Amino acid sequence: MSLLNQVLFGVYPYICLAVLVLGSVLRFDREQYTWRSGSSQLLRRRQLVLGSVLFHVGVLVIFGGHFVGLLTPIWVFDALGVSHGAKQILAITAGGVAGVMCLAGGLILLHRRLFDPRIRKTSSFSDIAILVILMIQLMLGLATIPLSMQHLDGHEMVKFMTWAQGVFTFQPGIANAVADVHPIFKLHLALGMTILLLFPFTRLVHMLSAPIWYLNRRGWQLVRTKRAMPIQPQAAAPVYPQKTDAVWPSSTSAFKTRR
Ligand code: HEM
């Protein structure tokens, strides 16, 4: 068993998961105003809608499929009477369709981000880099399909489930589970973990906003005004930041009504 394999699939997963959790908590705690999708919808909408719908539907199906497929204990599938072969075929078909949708949508989004000068200007290095990395990961994922078709009984897939579940249950020597799989699978697993590592430092964090905020719409709204100050009754006027960004709770209608 090579040392590289041990490090990549026995140690690296824990580094990535630790950075994912701690990094996300710290970013949420210290830099909440950067916790957003950084939408460029205002700059060019039509291409965004098509690309975004394809990308997001595809990626949500893939994430759901990966989560359930890799982390559901194998005995659950056995108890439900779902054979390994049936699960492998489901992963190939549903994952394949979702992967193609996601790739098509992502390439539209990447094209828009690279070739629309205004959107390019407002994009950070990480906005572009993470999209490129996701596209590479998708291509690697799709490249696993012809390999998976060579073992439709699902025995390779069981290795990935054993590995993923072994990581979460701290099984020693768990890297051995994937020691002999095809290098394309290994690249896909390694880049997948790297995406988890980068997650807190990119706009991907907005994924966590849905469960945290959107359900009851708490949070903050950044209001930019050209006025020196929002109009307030003089006597009661509190001190607001002048000629600068004023931050208001989104639940407050005071600013709107007094404008
Ligand atoms: C740590 C993260 C990830 C792990 C461990 C992982 C693991 C896997 C495995 C084991 C397979 C082969 C399934 C089989 O046929 O037996 C696969 C396939 C695939 N992956 Fe991932 N993956 C990860 C992240 C991602 C990401 C971020 C994307 C795309 C955004 C992605 C897209 C795909 C696609 C399109 C396929 C082929 C269709 C399928 O079999 O579902 N993966 N992945």
CA-nearest residue for atom 34, ligand 1, is: 141
Instruction: Tell which atom from ligand 1 comes closest to the C-alpha of 69.
Output: 13
Distance 235 CA to ligand 1 centre (A): 62
Residue 154 contacts by C-beta under 8 Å, 6 or more apart in sequence?
83, 84, 85, 86, 87, 88
9 vs 71, 143, 188, CA distance in Å? Answer: 16, 20, 12
Q: Is 189 in the pocket of ligand 1 (CB under 6 A)?
A: yes
What is residue 9's DSSP assignment?
A: I
Task: Tell me how far apart the alpha carbons of residues 163 and 254 are, in angstroms, rounded to a whole number.
Answer: 54
Cβ atoms of residues 253 and 230 within 8 Å: no
Cβ atoms of residues 106 and 133 within 8 Å: no
Distance 105 CA to ligand 1 centre (A): 17
Structure confidence at residue 209 (pLDDT):
72
Average pLDDT in the chain: 86
Structure tokens at 135: 């596209």
CA dihedral of residues 208, 213, 216, 220 (deg, nearest 10)? -160
Mean pLDDT of 91-102: 98
Task: Tell me how far apart the alpha carbons of residues 182 and 125 are, in angstroms, rounded to a whole number.
Answer: 32
Structure confidence at residue 253 (pLDDT):
41
- Placement of tokens 């719409």 in the chain: 217
pLDDT in tens, 106-150: 999 999 999 999 889 889 999 999 999 999 999 999 999 999 999
223 vs 158, 242, 250, 252, CA distance in Å? Answer: 51, 13, 10, 12
pTM: 0.83
Mean pLDDT of 166-186: 97
- Placement of tokens 């002999």 in the chain: 180
118 vs 63, 132, 162, 172, CA distance in Å? Answer: 31, 19, 47, 51
pLDDT in tens, 26-77: 998 887 767 666 666 666 667 788 999 999 999 999 999 999 999 999 999 9
Instruction: Tell which atom from ligand 1 comes closest to the C-alpha of 196.
Output: 1
Residue to substitute in 66, 84, 101, 156 for testing ligand 1 pocket (most ligand atoms within 8 angstroms of CB):
66
Structure confidence at residue 259 (pLDDT):
34
Across 156-179, b (16+ Cβ under 10 Å) vs e yields bbbbbbbbbbbbeeeeeebbbbbe
Mean pLDDT of 70-91: 96
42 vs 39, 47, 190, CA distance in Å? Answer: 8, 12, 36
Chain centroid to CA 102: 12
208 vs 11, 68, 200, CA distance in Å? Answer: 25, 18, 10
Domains in the chain, start-ordered, CATH in brackets?
Answer: 3-212 (1.20.950.20), 220-258 (no CATH)
Q: Is 193 in the pocket of ligand 1 (CB under 6 A)?
A: yes
CA-nearest residue for atom 42, ligand 1, is: 141
Distance 218 CA to ligand 1 centre (A): 33
Cβ atoms of residues 46 and 53 within 8 Å: no
CA-nearest residue for atom 21, ligand 1, is: 141
pLDDT in tens, 194-243: 999 999 999 998 888 766 655 555 555 666 666 666 556 555 555 555 54
